[in-house]
Structures are given as structure tokens and as C-alpha cells.
Structure 1
Amino acid sequence: ERCLETIAAREPIVKALTAINESGARADADASAARWKAGRPLSSIDGMPVGIKDLLETRDMPTEMGCAAMKGNFPKRDNAAVWALRQAGAVILAKTVTAELGGSHPGPTTNPFDPARTPGGSSSGSAAAVGANMVPMAIGTQVGGSIIRPAAYCGNFALKPTQGGINRGERLATSQSTHGPHANSLEDMWHSAIEMAKRCGGDRGALGLMGPDSLPAAIKPDRLIVLETEGWPDLDAATKTGFAQLLRALEAAGVSLIRRAEHPFVEILERAIASGRAVCNGITSWRTAGTSAECSTPRPTASAPVPRRPCSGPSR
């Protein structure tokens, strides 16, 4: 009920959601409350209200992918990760805004701390919904930076696991995509990720996310590599100053920092990834074009053409 109250108060400005299953969520929450009262919760996240990025199918809400061409798309089935959340007792409350097809064309979502600023993308709705306290956890997806960027912009804790660490199921996606949770606490972030992975595993052929049921203890690093990458020249002076302050705090805490000028291996790495943005965009564009062709072109056989049908995307 607190989540619904917050949604009612903040959604008109934040615009993080595409659909809300209020009646279904209330019924699921009541069922969870009964399990806890009986001492038989399904998991540590039993009863947690969650949001699902609108690239992932949900059996009780449409999946329109931020795309006018997908308006009304309602397969009435769950993505593997959504299924796993339900099995763990989580309450699937809402679908969250995505940039169009998870790309770069933004949706209507605003930053939960300043509506004049961007929430980041493409998991804009998931990050903003968590940042605005609409839900304690929401699922995002990432190819380039679509989990970690909006998490940073909206003040979330978020996990971009090893690719394929959480099963992507049917998702209409490029081969580089990865599922991961946004949350308002490290504990909720970890519990959500591990409970999904325990039930749906990783992608076919990939090692699923592994770890303890509870949040692992923090480990202080002895040393860190400081990467500038190709975006460094584009940064403004205030951002560079803030980053320098962060680095000084790490050094004061006893962490050794290694920069490109201080070790030849770091310089080699910097040069190796200097065109990373173009490589990522090139691969993604090629895969998106291929997926679009699969969805729009009938596949003929030797005897007769295959009738055209709605395409929910290959299992990748």
C-alpha cells in the first residue's frame, strides 16, 4: 500500500511506469502475508513489490518495449526472470519505461530528484521508480550501460552480473544484453539477484550467477586501476574535480591506484578499448537489424510460405 501511495503521488511527474497491476499485486501481497504469518515464506523476497522493465514479458501486463509498433503487445506469459521472481513470492506490481526497444531513443521518464534532468537509459523507468521509492526493486537490462548509468543518475544500488548470469528467456534482445536488479539497498539488490538465479539459472550455455543466500561481506580492495577511456576528453571540469576527490578518498583509505601513466599494461588496456563505443554500437545495430528482419519477414519453405505471425523475439 505504501508503494501504491507513492506511485499515486510521484508518477505524474516521474513518469516511470507503463502499466500497474494493482488488483493482482494486492492479491499476491495478501498471499505472501499469509505465508509469512504461517512461517512458510517462499524466500527472503517473498512479498517484495517489484517493477519489470517493459522489454520483458509479463503474463498480467502488456509488453510494449517503448515502441509504437509494439502497442497492445500482450503475450500473456512471463519472461524467465519474471517467472523466477514469482516463484520466490515477489509481487509483480508494475512495468517500467524503457527507451525504445532498449536503444537510445528516450521515453518520458524524468529524474526522481530533479524532473529537469535525465534519469539515464535505457532502464530509465526501473531506475527512476526505485529512486522515487515507488518500488524497492526493479529489473533493468544492459547492453552498453543501461543498468549502471541510470542507477548512478537515480541513486540506486544496481548489479550488472556476468553476461548470462540471470536467464534472459524470450527477450527480444541483442546477444550482448544482460538482466540485473536496481534496488534501494545492497541487501535487496543481492537477495533479488540470487533468488532469481537459484530458480531460472543463467542463459543456455552460460554459468548462472552463484553466491550465498545472504549479501556477502564487503571486501576492501588492495589496489584499483583508474581508467580514463574514450569519454575522458568529453568530461567537464566539475566532473573531473569530483572524480579526483573520490580517488583521493580511496587513497586515504589505503587503496593503491594505478593509472595509465604508471603501468604499461594499463596503457595497453586503454588503447585496446579506445574504440569500444563504436564497436558496441556497430554490433548492436547489426543485431537489431537482424532481429527486426526476423520479426517482419515470413520464412518460406520448399512447399509453402509460413504465415506471418507476431514475433516475440528469439531466445537469446
Structure 2
Amino acid sequence: MRTILRNIALCAFSLCSIATYAQQDRNVVFHMSDKTTKTVSLVGVDSLTFEKAVRTPLNLDLEIHSTYIKQIMTCSDPNMRYYVSYLEKEVFDAEYPTDEALVADDKQWMEDMAKSYGMSVSEMVSQFTYTGNFDEYQANLLPGHEYVVWMHGMDEQANSTTPVTKIAFRAKDVDRIANTVTLTAEKTAEGIKVTASPDDKTKNYTLGFFPTSMMRDEMTGMPQGTRDYMQTGISSSLYDYLANNEMPLFFENNAFKGDANITYTNPSRNTEYYIVAAYLDDEAAICSDISQITVNRDGSLSDVTMVKAPAKFLGKTVRRHAK
């Protein structure tokens, strides 16, 4: 009886005009499944329309980290192929005002890629889509940046077969530490000899050398700061280690502990370089200030400067990703 009365009350609410309530400055309180509530004012509202939810066999959950996410994808239709991709949120919002524009661009992307690889569209769809339930890592992320990941069904000709599922998220920020890596450098007959001396010999750190002209996003061509450029290179190296559950091996192969001595040989003339070092946390995120030495175009070396961690990470750095 209680259920019947509840359903009758719900129907009465959904069919009636709420103008009277609006005139009294009433609110609607939505009780969400995560136990939170959302309050919406009824001022100026004439009526409510309840639309039937569109069901999709696809579901997407995310485990969010600072430099990567784990995408947990489920599909109740074993015969369906589905496409998954992501963009920086700012870029996504600007380029895709509607889902129709998004799926049209996904189709165009498949067609363009098929042409460039000398493949048919159906072959390309087979290579770059998923079936069934699948867990996948997406690295290449920068801490504190906002992204949108989306998925939808796709047929052999790259047409969308389901509504688009979208999740906007923000990669986790990094817990900053006060430690620093001291750098010294000198010119030798072999090149530039660099010594790195961390103040904590037990922590992982990164040490690198690169021309400043390379500090641009590879997809957009936009300039990148030292931190974003370094982190992009580190994050882009994570996928294989994550997929094989071998993150400790990543640090063995790509990071340093304790004092290090490296000679960078044959630097090009009339080219400016940065020598950089900074600590990494357990997710391979840069978590300290960056020690930086500039190799000037004339070959001279600057004193060490510190690139301070920003209060907030900003910038358009990541473009389209597919399987």
C-alpha cells in the first residue's frame, strides 16, 4: 500500500503545474545517489517535464591519479564495438558544443587515419575500438589539468551507434615537497659534465638535458613551460609500465637516487639548452621545485635557478587520444 501511495504522489507531482510553488519562492531538493543533495530554485519556473532516460549498454568509471587514469569500461552487448578518447576540457568545450559535432569528428578522424595508413575504415575501426569489458590506462596527463573522456558505440563505417557517455575530471594535484636537487655543471673536452646531488638520497628524481626550442606541445605547437614540458615527457613514458603493473621498473629505468654524474656530449652550437632536475613522487609527478641551468647559445653556463611550483597547473597540452 505504501508503494502505491508513493507512486500516486509522484505522478501527481510530475503532472501538476508548479507555478504556485514558484510564486512562493519554493525550491526543489534533489537527493543524489551519492547521498548529497542539490537544490534548485523554482523562481520563474512554470512547469516541469520528466523525460525518459536513454539507456546505453556502455558504462565508464575512472580511477583518477595525477599523471594517469585507469578507465574501467563495461559493455553489456558483446557484439558492439565502442570508441574511447579524451581531450583537455578547455579544448573539448571549445571544439564540441554538441554531441553531434563530436561523433561527426570521431568519424572523420577514423576516415582520415584509415587513409593515412592505407587501410579501410572498417579495418581502422577494428584496430582502434574496444569490445566487451576492458580496463585501460591513459597516461600523458598533467597534474591539476582538466580533461574530458568520452565513449560511444561505433559501427564498421565509424558511425556512432549509442549516445555519448562523457566524464569531465581533473587530474589530481601533487603534494609538493621542500626538497631540492643541487646541480653543478662544467664544460669539458667531452661535453658538459653535470653533477646532481639530492638532499634526500632515498627519493627518486629526474635529471634531463634538452634544447629550449623543443618546449612546445607536439600537437598544438603551443609553447610549454619547463615543468609542463618535463612532465609531458615523463607522463608519456608511463603507459607500458602501468599496463604491465611494473611502475617500480619505471623508476629503475628512468629515475635517479643518490648522487649522479652525467656528461652530455656534443651539444649543438648556437643552441640554448636547459639542464634540469627535480624530485618525482610515486606516480612519477614532479613534486618539487626544479633546479635549472641554462646552456647559452655561446656555450657558456648560467648559475642554477629554481623553477618554482605554480599554485595551479594551466595550459593546453593534450590532444586526441585513441586506443
TM range (shorter): under 0.3
Return the index of the structure with the highest Cα Rg.
2
Instruction: From the two aligned structures, give the one with the greater strand fraction.
Output: 2
Q: Choose between structure 1 and 2: higher helix proportion.
A: 1
Which structure carries more relative contact order (alpha carbon 8 Å, separation 6+)? 2
Query: What TM-score do you get using the length of structure 1 for normalisation?
Result: 0.23
